[in-house]
Amino acid sequence: MGLIGHQLFKRLETFDIFYHISVLFGPIFLGAAALLSTSPPLKAVYISTSTYLASLIFATLVYRVSPFHPLAIYPGPFGCRLTKFWMAAVSFTGQQHNYIKSLHDRYGDVVRIGPNEVSIKDPSVVHAMLGPAGLPHGPMYYGKLLVRTPKDMPMLGMTNITEHLRRRRPWARAFSGASLKEYKPMVASRALQLVQVLQSQKGEVDIGKWVNYHSYDFMCDMAFGGGSELLRDGDVHNFWHTLEKGLPPSTFVSHVPWLGPYLARIPVITADMQKVLAHCQRLTTGRIERGAQRRDLFHYLNNEDEPETQPPSLQQVVNEGVVAVVAGSDTVSITLTSIFFCLATHPEAYRLLEEEIDRFYPPGQDPCDTEHHRDMHYLTAVINETLRVYPTASSGVQRCVPHDSNGFTLGSIFLPPGTSAWYHQLSVYHDPRYFFPKTDDFWPERWLLASGRLSFADTDTDEATFVHNEGAFVPFSYGPMNCVGKNLAMLEMRIVVCAVLQKFRLHTRDGWDPRTYDKGLKDFFVTMRPPVPVTLVPRS
């Protein structure tokens, strides 16, 4: 019976609780019923349960590490091949990005990181894996977001491509070129407020904390027309701490997503998530009560721009709003923090960017005017290089081969049905085959050399050995399921960097070891960062 149960679980991996109960307990009751003629009821249940579970676990584990498993040809640690709880335990420490990179360094470009999961370090798979005919999202979000049922899943985690694209339409309208123009005043207002708050600080400040507050306030403005004032009031409700406290357990469960529907029903497990949802529920309610004062994300998600279209449920809008506010603010804030860290620890890059900002935004000029952004090539290089050295999603985004398919081929890599795969950005971006020289260093000039805006004769770089594989660089993912907010994120980062560097010169604390930043970064699919203590010197 255990062998039959193993085949049922293997061939139809589902998040339906009734199915789990049927396959898990059905054979036990059948076995116990068959034993009742020769054994007392309790003994029959004990024998049936122990026999079934032992054979089920034994068959599952032996098959996973056997040469008969379809992923047996791909190398990886024994623990990873045996169970996803191995990677779940690693992820709880926040070091899965470094762990998987070490596996690629040891085993090669394709590493088995789970019984039915691989990580890939090969840029040639980007178009096939992530492009229009690529793979849908994997099941990790059932655990990551503690989703009870598929109907509760926000657009970000949709595993059905058709449904994902349907739900993406209002997002596409919200982030169109015309919509971005409407968000610019909000971006500028919050950037100037950030500068004012920094001017009021005395002594050493953690620049990352204030960048976090800025990004969250702006995303609440953009998504719900307001509702957050962390820059003004500080984190009086402990929201940011609650959010970060919930990242390790949710990342753990994302590796064993079948646990998600069960844990989502346990209040003590979902307490932090429920606080975040309740906060976004209040933002949504406040937005409804205030009405449409301007075209924000809610305006589009609620189909207010298409009154003839049936609006979605309030809960769906709340779920989508949570994704927008949390994912949008966190990814931008960690990149901005990394930008300021890189500049403060690389004086020459800082000097060149400061000169570019002074050229386009001299004293008295509005640093939030976006007119010059297209001509600020060094600023773009700084942002791109930061995203290369410190990608916001180091492990990428999980994709999965549908169970009802015949498998999927990525060049020389064949993925059987039901296989999950990752394009591991951190490993690719730090591979000298794709970026050389100074592979592990912050060096914005590589982007100017690659674009022809900087001559090799003006550097000490040998053109013959220079490698810059821009096709490998997908910080906002790629294809129809890429980051819909990419253009807004770039706009926000450009404005904030220009506004801050026009007013201040950043200095790190004497004796502070910059290596603590790299050591303190933690990957929970979004990145948690350590403090970056700086002194802000006003510029005359």
Three-state secondary structure readout of 171-209? HHHHCCHHHHHHHHHHHHHHHHHHHHHHHHCCCEEEHHH
Main-chain dihedrals φ then ψ at residue 132, nearest 5 degrees: -55, -35
Residues 429/469, Cβ–Cβ less than 8 Å: no
With cut-offs at 50, 70 and 90, classify the pLDDT of residue 229.
very high
The yes-or-no verdict on residue 5 having pLDDT over 60 is: no
* Token pair in block for residue 172: 């596409």
The yes-or-no verdict on residue 398 having pLDDT over 90 is: yes
- List % helix, strand, coil for the chain (3-state, nearest 5): 60, 10, 35
User: What pLDDT shows up at residue 377?
Assistant: 98
Residues 490/455, Cβ–Cβ less than 8 Å: no
The yes-or-no verdict on residue 241 having pLDDT over 90 is: no
Mean pLDDT, rounded, for 439-455: 98
User: What pLDDT shows up at residue 43?
Assistant: 77
pLDDT digits (tens, 9 = 90+) for 373-386: 999 999 999 999 99
Binding residues for heme: 483
The yes-or-no verdict on residue 306 having pLDDT over 70 is: yes
The yes-or-no verdict on residue 8 having pLDDT over 60 is: no
DSSP label at residue 507: E
CA–CA separation, 73 and 107 (whole Å):
12
User: What pLDDT shows up at residue 7?
Assistant: 55
User: What pLDDT shows up at residue 320?
Assistant: 82
Choice among 71-75, 187-191, 247-251, 339-343 with the minimum mean pLDDT? 247-251
Residues 231/237, Cβ–Cβ less than 8 Å: no
Cβ-proximal residues to 145 (8 Å cutoff; 6+ apart), any chain: 153, 154, 157, 250, 260, 273
Residues 369/502, Cβ–Cβ less than 8 Å: no
- Distance between terminal CA atoms of the chain? 79
Using only C-alpha atoms, the chain has a radius of gyration, in whole angstroms, of 25
Main-chain dihedrals φ then ψ at residue 125, nearest 5 degrees: -90, -5
Binding residues: 483
**Higher confidence at residue 480 or residue 24?**
480
The closest alpha carbon to 378, from 354, 414, 346, 345, belongs to 354
User: What pLDDT shows up at residue 224?
Assistant: 86
Average pLDDT across the chain, whole number: 89
CA–CA separation, 369 and 39 (whole Å):
83
With cut-offs at 50, 70 and 90, classify the pLDDT of residue 12.
low
- CATH architecture of the domain with residue range 152-538: Orthogonal Bundle (1.10)
CA–CA separation, 492 and 482 (whole Å):
18
**pTM of the predicted model as reported, rounded to 2 decimal places:** 0.93
With cut-offs at 50, 70 and 90, classify the pLDDT of residue 175.
very high
pLDDT digits (tens, 9 = 90+) for 454-505: 999 999 999 999 999 999 999 999 999 999 999 999 999 999 999 999 999 9
**Per mean pLDDT, which of 148-157, 194-203, 251-260 is the most reliable?**
194-203
User: What pLDDT shows up at residue 17?
Assistant: 67
Choice among 19-33, 97-111, 162-176 with the minimum mean pLDDT? 19-33
pLDDT digits (tens, 9 = 90+) for 404-421: 899 999 999 999 999 999
CA–CA separation, 343 and 360 (whole Å):
19
CA–CA separation, 47 and 53 (whole Å):
10
The yes-or-no verdict on residue 6 having pLDDT over 60 is: no
pLDDT digits (tens, 9 = 90+) for 98-139: 999 999 999 999 999 999 999 999 999 999 999 999 999 998
With cut-offs at 50, 70 and 90, classify the pLDDT of residue 13.
low
The yes-or-no verdict on residue 9 having pLDDT over 70 is: no
Q: What share of the chain has pLDDT > 70, as a percent?
A: 94
Given the structure tokens 């040639």, which residue do they identify? Answer: 124
